[in-house]
Structure 1
Amino acid sequence: MKNIYKLHSILVVIVFLLVSSCEDDLNVLPNDALSETDFLNNPDNAVALVTGVYNKQLDYNMYSFSWIGMTSITSDDADKGSTPSDTGTDKQKMDNLTFGPSDISFSDVWNGRYDGIYRANNALFYLEQLTIDETLKNRLIGEVKFLRALFYFDLVRCFGGVPLVTERIDINNSEEINNVVFVRKTKEETYAVIESDLMEAIDLLPLKSQYSPNDLGRATKGAAQALLAKAYLYQEKWQMAYDMSGNVITSGQYGLLPNYAEVWREVGENKSESIYEVQAALNAGIRDYTNVQGARGTPDLGWGFNSPSLALSNAYEPGDVRREATILFVQTTPFTLWDGFIGSSTWNNPRYNYKAYQSSIEESWNGDKGLTAKNLRILKYSDILLIRAEAASELGMVGEATDRVNEIRVRAGLAELTSVTITDVYKERRLEMAMEHDRWFDLVRTGQAVSAMAANGKTFIVGTHERFPIPQDQIIQSNGVLLQNPGY
């Protein structure tokens, strides 16, 4: 799958030249030899359509600086990092919970997801017309439905109910724009679209083991089930989250890697613990994801943002192997990283995100810090175990919750618990998923945000901070039709 991004790059340009007139970043010459009929009868173009949706995940406004700021720097697991004078434009505001509608992070995350949704809707429009093998067509539709659901899941977690664009939009149709693109739906309506897309994807997608090696990394039945279980969890649909996570667990497709530290390294990519990852390759990496979080100083590995907090460091039990695998601790003398690289005692911050570290020695490397070939884990098997445990705990199934938590604790080098409470599940989730962009959302949805932020010297404003502000530039473009969240 890493190679798919490169193999189909030319086709992707042709595809989006056909389906879109507003992709300003595509500076290409028209291809008069390709008619719409030719396009619709070539199965390679079907794959290219879908690859174009996957490719969106590599862009800067998807999982880079703004996403890191909104989902991690805001939380008690991370500090802004970098240097005191480098605010990262608005990342100091994220850290202090003093952000507002005009901050660029919100615009980036909003635009990135809707760019992906736009591509997904175009792909679905043309896939329905393509004269290709029906099995391939159905699989590709399932992949796109999964991706669109993932984009909307990010949006609803961040902003609450959002405009629901589920058909190809004519950008010159102002009435359609005003009635669809600029009209917010409720959170419940947004989740309903997510659930519908994922249920269809589950029916259409193959198991992970049924993909050829060249297609490893594409969305699978298990990925759709896992995301649906997570969507149910966020809505407190406990029985449905319990059942759907159980489908993933009993599928026989996934399992925990023996070594926790390898989960986020290249050696762990697309292995048994991986349910869905953004696939990165040399020269086609996730723009600046590792660069934003790399150690800052001499030798310089990046911008130094998103530094794991002291509170996170202190939350681990003695002997928990996840602490040293998650946090790169800067030492007072030169020290050795896991790959043999010599770290510097002069790096600016005392702690860095080890999960985001890209090795120039033991992993694929071309010297470009801005486009590293490091996959981003979106859905993991350990996440599913924790979803199962949380749902079980809420349903009063203490034994099941305890068993799932203990699977994770044993891998972490810790003693098993005889019984767990919901607080135990929350703690295990924090430590297992640390620095993986879930902590802020977990604090909000479980009602822990006020106390957690207070312990970190921050004020969480009830009634406001449960949702981020709708980007001000979007409200302006809509002439006020798009409504702002309360408190902003």
Structure 2
Amino acid sequence: MKNIKYTTTIILAGLFTITGSGCKKFIELSPVDNRVSENFYKTEKDANEALNSVYDALQWHTNAGGGGFSPDPMMADIASDDSYAGGASRSDSPDMIQIDQQKIAPTNSLTRVYWGNHYTGIYRANLLLQKLPDINMPAAAKAKIAAECKFLRAFFYFDLAKWFGNIPLITAPQSPGEYCVVNASPAQTFNQIAQDLVEAMPVLDKSDLRTSKAHATRWSAIGLLGRVYLFYKGVYKAELQADGTAVNGPYVLTQLQDLITNSGHDLLGAYADNFTKANEFSKESVWEISYSNDNPWFDWNYIQGGEGNMQPLMQAPRIEGDPLYSTGWSFAPVTQELYNSYEANDPRRTATIINMETDLKGKVSVGYQHTGFFSKKYTTTAEYRPTTGQYELNWGNNYRSIRFSDVLLMAAELDFTNGGSQAQNYLNRVRNRVSLGSKTVTLAAIYQERRAELALEGIRYWDLLRQGLPAAAQAITISGKKGPGYTGDQVDYNVTFNQATRGLFPIPQSELDQCSSVLKPNF
């Protein structure tokens, strides 16, 4: 079920990002047709097409500057203790291995792609917000588009702030000579994120994602606010301010309880159903990023022009002759530590992890850092196999960015830490769905439940960081340990978490070189 077509013909200069050396060459490009920014932003149709271009940037795992593929959930899993880098061999993606080994260079191509893609989305949102007041359209429709732009800007900035820390904070389109911007403090950036979400929440539709046709809803904004607050509070030990609104634990808990009680969202009956094609935009999905093969794509030189998701292909096993799975690239092989972390009778393990010995029927080619385990949630299942277009570029698996179970566990954490009485109930709802008995609610129990419930969805790394750098180091640092299915030298599986980097990506060297007068390294 794909509802947003991420296609547009607006002038490239009006849509690409504006910070760093990777931006100027885009700004100098000629228009792709005669609708330049000066004559485009006139009608409601124009505004909606421009909004689609903001959503478009959510899909990107590469960009026109090249440099590899950087799906956010997969990179976060590789940085955590749930996955290794993997791939065909040690030379397949050295930049992904840097993320796995916590030794990321400022010249890493994946972080540069990630930075550029997110600032592209921010620029598109800023540009539309600037143009909206002068567009001829009903006030209510205009307000809703503005709210969606703020939600999307918050989403992009949250990703950047998690990975890079001190980043440029840009809330309006820039002109030549303004491209270089000083690093903002985390407090400035996170307060802006909170403000965008608080302003968007009352305007966005109170609907599910099927009704909204995959557009962000009030409930999407509340779910994201919960995630933003818990990360900021855990990592920076401070509260947030959204203009005149104090965004603290009680405030965020109240919003999450509104979502739980009034949104109509709920848990699906079977845990594994969350990741099937039939359950895209299901009642459990609070925020979801849409992908498809509805627009068959062939162009390896402009991959982001299509609508495919690279992550399923990247982390699927290199397999031939299996009736359920098509061959992939074997990145992000799953660790023995994650496999062992589940309770013995927890069905989420088999719904989350492909065990090569029991789940695969075809012939598997062993790749780098092979463990015998692969992600089952986002992979090359038969129902998603592209029927047209380039095989590698058209996987349509949607990414369930915020699920209702995550909302319940966020609420349990905030309720527990703020002296409420519902934390046990929220925790039990998640466990009851998979027929596990009640467990006494503690912070440790909530974190363990989050690992089991949300594994291989790009959440674990951030949960470790917000528990503190020593906790992250204890979990991620591995030396002298190999699982029984591992293939390769022990050194390939040793990881040391570097607390000096605070778990951050370095700001790309190309950005620092371009803006050396104002932009500084983040560690």
Same fold (TM over 0.5): yes
Return the alpha-carbon distance in structure 2 between the equivalents of residues 471 and 19 of structure 1.
21
Equivalent residue number for residue 393 of structure 1? 416
C-alpha deviations, 1:364-397, integer Å up to 9, x for none? 6436232211111111111111111111222243
Alignment gaps of 5+ in structure 1: 337-341
Q: 1:94 to 1:136 in 2, by over 3 A?
A: same
Equivalent residue number for residue 235 of structure 1? 232
Q: 1:400 to 1:468 in 2, by over 3 A?
A: same
C-alpha deviations, 1:160-209, integer Å up to 9, x for none? 12111000111x2x1x223xxx3011100001110111111112211124
Q: 1:269 to 1:27 in 2, by over 3 A?
A: farther
Identity in percent: 29
Shift of 1:235: 2.4
Return the alpha-carbon distance in structure 2 between the equivalents of residues 435 and 25 of structure 1.
40
| Residue of structure 1 aligned with 2:515, choices 447, 463, 478 | 478
Give the match's secondary structure for 2:134: coil
Q: 1:40 to 1:119 in 2, by over 3 A?
A: closer
Q: 1:222 to 1:292 in 2, by over 3 A?
A: same
C-alpha deviations, 1:372-431, integer Å up to 9, x for none? 11111111111111111111222243x4222111111111221122x2111001100111
C-alpha deviations, 1:62-85, integer Å up to 9, x for none? 895353564111110111222343
Q: Which amino acid in the other structure matches residue 93 of structure 2?
A: G
Q: 1:87 to 1:95 in 2, by over 3 A?
A: farther
Alignment gaps of 5+ in structure 2: 17-23, 234-247, 297-305, 480-493
Equivalent residue number for residue 190 of structure 2? 191
Does 2:375 align with 1:379?
no
Does 2:113 align with 1:121?
no
Equivalent residue number for residue 31 of structure 1? 34
Equivalent residue number for residue 177 of structure 1? 179
Q: 1:331 to 1:395 in 2, by over 3 A?
A: same
When structure 1 is superposed on structure 2, of 232-241 and 259-268 the one drifting more is 232-241
Q: 1:384 to 1:102 in 2, by over 3 A?
A: same
Does 2:48 align with 1:47?
yes
| Residue of structure 2 aligned with 1:426, choices 428, 434, 447 | 447
| Residue of structure 2 aligned with 1:311, choices 325, 337, 348 | 337
Provide TM-score, normalisation by structure 2. 0.82
Provide TM-score, normalisation by structure 1. 0.88
Q: 1:153-232 residue pairs with structure 2 within 5 A?
A: 153-170=158-175, 172=176, 174=177, 176-178=178-180, 182-209=181-208, 213=211, 215-232=212-229
Give the match's secondary structure for 2:84: strand
Q: Aligned Cα RMSD in Å?
A: 2.6
Equivalent residue number for residue 4 of structure 2? 4
Q: 1:452 to 1:347 in 2, by over 3 A?
A: same
Q: 1:408 to 1:443 in 2, by over 3 A?
A: same
Does 2:392 align with 1:369?
yes
Contact 1:152-1:190 within 8 A present in 2 as well: yes
Number of equivalenced pairs: 463
Give the match's secondary structure for 2:345: coil
| Residue of structure 2 aligned with 1:326, choices 320, 328, 352 | 352
Q: 1:369 to 1:25 in 2, by over 3 A?
A: farther
Return the alpha-carbon distance in structure 1 between the equivalents of residues 342 and 467 of structure 2.
20
Shift of 1:24: 6.8
Return the alpha-carbon distance in structure 2 between the equivalents of residues 371 and 14 of structure 1.
23
Contact 2:415-2:423 within 8 A present in 1 as well: yes
Equivalent residue number for residue 355 of structure 1? 377
Return the alpha-carbon distance in structure 1 between the equivalents of residues 137 and 56 of structure 2.
22
Shift of 1:35: 8.9
C-alpha deviations, 1:308-355, integer Å up to 9, x for none? 1110000000111110111011127xx56xxxxx44355544111111
Return the alpha-carbon distance in structure 1 between the equivalents of residues 71 and 289 of structure 2.
17
Return the alpha-carbon distance in structure 2 between the equivalents of residues 437 and 212 of structure 1.
23
Q: 1:52 to 1:362 in 2, by over 3 A?
A: closer
Q: Which amino acid in the other structure matches residue 235 of structure 1?
A: Y
Contact 1:118-1:168 within 8 A present in 2 as well: yes
Contact 1:383-1:433 within 8 A present in 2 as well: yes
Q: 1:37-76 residue pairs with structure 2 within 5 A?
A: 39-61=40-62, 64-65=69-70, 67-68=72-73, 70-76=75-81
Contact 1:261-1:325 within 8 A present in 2 as well: yes
Contact 1:254-1:275 within 8 A present in 2 as well: yes
